[in-house]
Amino acid sequence: MTEPASAETASVRNPSARLIDGKAFAANLTQDIAREVRAFHDRHQVTPGLAVVLVGNDPASEVYVRNKALQTHRTGMRSFMHMLPETTSQAELLALVGRLNHDPEIHGILVQLPLPAGLDPIAITNAIRPDKDVDGLGEVNAGRLALGQPGLVPCTPLGCLMLLKAELGELRGLHAVVIGASNLVGRPMARLLLAEGCTVTVAHIDTRDPAALARQADILVVATGCNGLVRADWIKPGATVIDVGITRISLPNGKTRLVGDVAFDEAVTRAGRITPVPGGVGPMTIACLLNNTLAAARRIVGGAA
Ligand SMILES: Nc1nc(=O)c2c([nH]1)NC[C@@H]1CN(c3ccc(C(=O)N[C@@H](CCC(=O)O)C(=O)O)cc3)C=[N+]21
């Protein structure tokens, strides 16, 4: 064995972590869902339908929303896009949600967040019928998750949990540290891990010495939106690292690049397994949205069958 003459990155010198291929896992899951959508249609003569509502014209949101529609069609489900102007009032948005709640062709409703200033995301999320709330962000589904009862689970943490179970098998007894306590990711992630029998620590903006906590983690989930926050010395050697963060940064050459909350090139030398950005958690979020839409259609149409 000879040492590489000029290792360009730390990961080349010490290629320890196994990459968790969220993109491939999501592609497989999407194929399974497509098969189940056909079986569901054969049985009930109903095609699951997802309504996606986007208010305003944030370019990043438009990309996600278009991607969601594409993936939805790929599974054979129907996708209904509602692009509303920035000037949409709360009453208009609530009226649309009300129509979608009653529309028998719609089994899942997603209102893209964040909403423009002046629209109350809590009121709007809670206006979605709980059995169509495929984001799992309304009070009813969040409450069910908190109580350990079945319901619709937020897509990003559900996708992270699927990856963790596929990689590690049984999670019971492992120490999971979740950095970030948002209602979208951190909190529901912690509740899911608790339900799996993990010992769960949640770090947030006021946590003192988050690195010391993170170093205790067998499973480290990072969802802060601070790109590069987690450095190599935050990671217990061999730990499984799930990077939820996704930030588009500009490069000196004028191009842009997506980066996560974990300093990947460093972390890869310490972690046992790690998700990349892009190609990790992001594609799983969309696959889980489709999963939840099928689950919602099954409950609404088939009484869960
Ligand atoms: N009500 C609501 N529910 C959401 O789930 C929701 C939302 N609002 N608002 C915005 C965020 C963001 N989000 C992403 C989904 C997929 C990728 C994704 O597929 N990312 C690819 C890269 C995509 C690219 O190249 O831009 C990847 O990580 O590999 C990213 C981000 C869902 N969100």
pLDDT digits (tens, 9 = 90+) for 59-92: 888 888 999 999 999 999 999 999 999 999 999 9
Give the range among 22-26, 144-148, 243-247, 301-305 with minimum mean pLDDT.
301-305
Q: Establish whether 216 is a catalytic residue.
A: no
Active site residue 112: yes
Q: Is the CB of 115 under 6 A from ligand 1?
A: no
CATH architecture, domain defined by 154-281: 3-Layer(aba) Sandwich (3.40)
What's the 233 CA to ligand 1 centre distance in angstroms?
28
ipTM over 0.85: yes
Say whether the peptide bond before residue 121 is cis (omega within 30 degrees of 0): no
pLDDT at 200 over 70: yes
Q: Specify the length of the chain in residues.
A: 305
Q: Which of 27, 16, 20 is nearest to 275 (CA)?
A: 20
pLDDT of the residue at 62? 87
Is 278's C-beta closer than 6 angstroms to any atom of ligand 1?
A: yes
The predicted model scores a pTM of 0.94
Q: Do 46-135 and 154-281 have matching folds?
A: yes
Structure tokens at 114: 């964040």
Does the annotation flag 180 for ligand binding?
yes
Evaluate whether the domain defined by 46-135 bears CATH number 3.40.50.10860: yes
Lowest mean pLDDT among 1-5, 86-90, 206-210: 1-5
Where exactly are the structural domains of the chain?
46-135, 154-281
Query: Among the options 131, 132, 133, 135, which is catalytic?
Result: 135
Q: Residue 267 half-sphere exposure, CB side, CA atoms within 13 Å?
A: 29
Active site residue 236: no
- Say how many Å lie between the first and final Cα of the chain, rounded: 57
What is the pLDDT, as a whole number, of residue 16?
Answer: 85
Distance 26 CA to ligand 1 centre (A): 13
Cβ neighbours for 28, distance < 8 A, ≥ 6 positions apart: none
Q: Are 123 and 93 in contact (CB under 8 A)?
A: no
